[in-house]
C-alpha cells in the first residue's frame, strides 16, 4: 500500500466516469469530506444523548438533599463529566459550522456508490497509520498524540476551515538567514 496504489484508484475512478484526474481528485476530496462531516454528526448525536442521560442523573442526585458520601462523590464526578460533554458538544458544533446533514448525506451517497473512493480511503488511512506509527517509533510524537490523530481518521488534510486565530498561530519555516 503506497501512494501509487492510491493514484491507481483515482485513475480507475476517472476512467470509469470519463473525467480528468483533477476532477476525480475533487470528487474523492468531496466524498472524504462528507465522510468526515458524517463522522462528526455521529459523534455529536452520541455526545448529546450521553449529555441528556448524564444531566438526568445529575438532576436526580441534586434533588436528593440527604445524599450519602458515595452519592456526593457520584454527583461530583457526574457534574464534571457533564461539563466535559457540554464542551464536546460545543466543539463538534463549531467543527460542523457550514456543513448541513443533508450535504453530508449527499456526499456519502457518492462515497458509498464508488468502490474506488472507498478503497482509496482505506489505502490513504493505512498510509496515515503507518506514518503516524513511524513518528511514534522514532520518538518524534507521543503515543497519546498518535491516538488522537488516529481517532480523527476521517480528517481530510488541507480541507479544514480555520478561524483567524488558528491561521495566525501557524508557523512558517524557511531556509536561509
Taking only the tens place, the pLDDT of each residue in 97-112 is 888 999 999 999 999 9
Query: Does residue 154 carry a pLDDT above 80?
Result: no
The C-alpha R_g of the chain, in whole angstroms, comes to 22
Given a cut of 80, is residue 170 above it in pLDDT?
A: no
CA gap 154, 111 in Å, rounded: 13
| Pairwise CA distance, residues 52 & 133, whole Å | 37
Rounded distance, CA 58 to CA 79, Å? 6
Q: Work out the average pLDDT over 60-71.
A: 92
Q: What Å distances lie between residue 173 and 123, 124, 177, CA to CA?
A: 30, 27, 11
Q: CA–CA separation, 79 vs 157, rounded Å?
A: 36
CB 32 within 8 A of CB 154: yes
pTM: 0.73
Q: Kindly tell me if the per-residue pLDDT of 163 is higher than 70.
A: no
- In this structure, what C-alpha cell is assigned to residue 96? 460542523
Amino acid at each position: 500500500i503506497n501512494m501509487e496504489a492510491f493514484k491507481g484508484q483515482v485513475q480507475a475512478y476517472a476512467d470509469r466516469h470519463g473525467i480528468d484526474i483533477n476532477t476525480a481528485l475533487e470528487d474523492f476530496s468531496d466524498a472524504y469530506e462528507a465522510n468526515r462531516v458524517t463522522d462528526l454528526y455521529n459523534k455529536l448525536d452520541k455526545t448529546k444523548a450521553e449529555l441528556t442521560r448524564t444531566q438526568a442523573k445529575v438532576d436526580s442526585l441534586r434533588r436528593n438533599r440527604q445524599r450519602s458520601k458515595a452519592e456526593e462523590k457520584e454527583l461530583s464526578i457526574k457534574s464534571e463529566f457533564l461539563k466535559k460533554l457540554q464542551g464536546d458538544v460545543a466543539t463538534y458544533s463549531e467543527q460542523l459550522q457550514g456543513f448541513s446533514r443533508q450535504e453530508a448525506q449527499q456526499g456519502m451517497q457518492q462515497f458509498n456508490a464508488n468502490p474506488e473512493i472507498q478503497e482509496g480511503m482505506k489505502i490513504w488511512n493505512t498510509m496515515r497509520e503507518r506514518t503516524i506509527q513511524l513518528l511514534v517509533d522514532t520518538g518524534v510524537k507521543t503515543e497519546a498524540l498518535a491516538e488522537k490523530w488516529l481517532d480523527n481518521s476521517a480528517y481530510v488534510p488541507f480541507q479544514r476551515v480555520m478561524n483567524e486565530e488558528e491561521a495566525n498561530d501557524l508557523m512558517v519555516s524557511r531556509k536561509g538567514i
